[in-house]
Amino acid sequence: MKNIVILISGGGSNMAAIVRTSLRDDWARRFGAKVVAVVSNKASAPGLELARAHGLATAVVEHKAFAAAPDPRAAFDAELAKVVDGYEPALVVLAGFMRILTPGFVERYTGRMVNIHPSLLPAFAGLNTYQRALDAGCCFAGATVHQVITELDHGPILGQAVVPVLPGDTAQILAARVLTQEHLLYPRVIADLLQKL
């Protein structure tokens, strides 16, 4: 079985969309793949409850617990890798996972770790993507699924979804429009990837 481990920090709506699609489209039979665990860097992430409701294993590696380590990022990533590796992942899916990962962590999962970013990369890497798209006067916005490389929000693009920017849009309105498309895009791209893994 190709195990999928999903990393989250917050609401987990993309995670839930991936889990729902994997069950609806029977990824176990079609690709020999299944979501086995959801890991969060925050115990308070609402997505953890959602994952448990789906009967998935969950784990928490609190990044704050490593604040006093000589190299907090490296210490957190080492523990995170230990937990993730415990689920023997064929694919690691970052779904609203709001931590910058060290090169060591990224290299460990090269070619088998993907991320979703709420902009049409290479435009607007980083934060506040919706407001930046509005400020730039963009006519379109969207989301990108990409392979994860050491440079933040870069890496080979695996798929994109485009939405229009409409008169009267606020960052919040635009974010909701993009998120709806993310829920379709991310499972579709992962299904494509699973056929090749």
Query: Is the CA virtual torsion 111, 112, 113, 116 positive or negative?
Result: positive
If the CB atoms of residues 75 and 160 are measured against ligand GRF, the closer one turns out to be 160
Q: Which residues make beta-bridge pairs with 114?
A: 93, 147
To ligand GRF, the closest distance from the beta carbon of 77 in angstroms equals 18
90-129 residues near ligand GRF, rule: CB under 6 A:
95-96, 116-118
Catalytic residue among 63, 117, 146, 183: 117
DSSP string, 1-67: -EEEEEEESS--HHHHHHHHHHHHTTHHHHHSEEEEEEEES-TT-HHHHHHHHTT-EEEE--GGGGT
Residue 141 touching ligand GRF (CB under 6 A): no
Known catalytic residue: 183?
no
If the CB atoms of residues 179 and 190 are measured against ligand GRF, the closer one turns out to be 179
Of all residues in this chain, which one has the CB nearest to ligand GRF in the complex?
A: 96
Residue 155 touching ligand GRF (CB under 6 A): no
Q: What does the block give as tokens for 163?
A: 């939405």
User: 3-state secondary structure string, 150-188?
Assistant: CCCCCCCEEEEEEEECCCCCCHHHHHHHHHHHHHHHHHH
Q: How far apart are CA 197 and CA 191, in angstroms?
A: 10
Residue count, binding to ligand GRF (CB under 6 A): 16
Q: How far apart are CA 174 and CA 163, in angstroms?
A: 9
Sole binder of ligand GRF in the list 3, 10, 132, 171 (CB under 6 A): 10
Residue 153 touching ligand GRF (CB under 6 A): no
If the CB atoms of residues 80 and 116 are measured against ligand GRF, the closer one turns out to be 116
Sole binder of ligand GRF in the list 5, 6, 13, 89 (CB under 6 A): 13
Peptide bond into 122 cis (omega under 30): yes
Stretch of 9-17, 57-65, 84-92, 155-163 contacting ligand GRF, by CB under 6 A: 9-17
The residues annotated with a catalytic role in the active site are 117
* Footprint on this chain of ligand GRF (rule: CB under 6 A): 8, 10-15, 47, 95-96, 116-118, 143, 179, 182
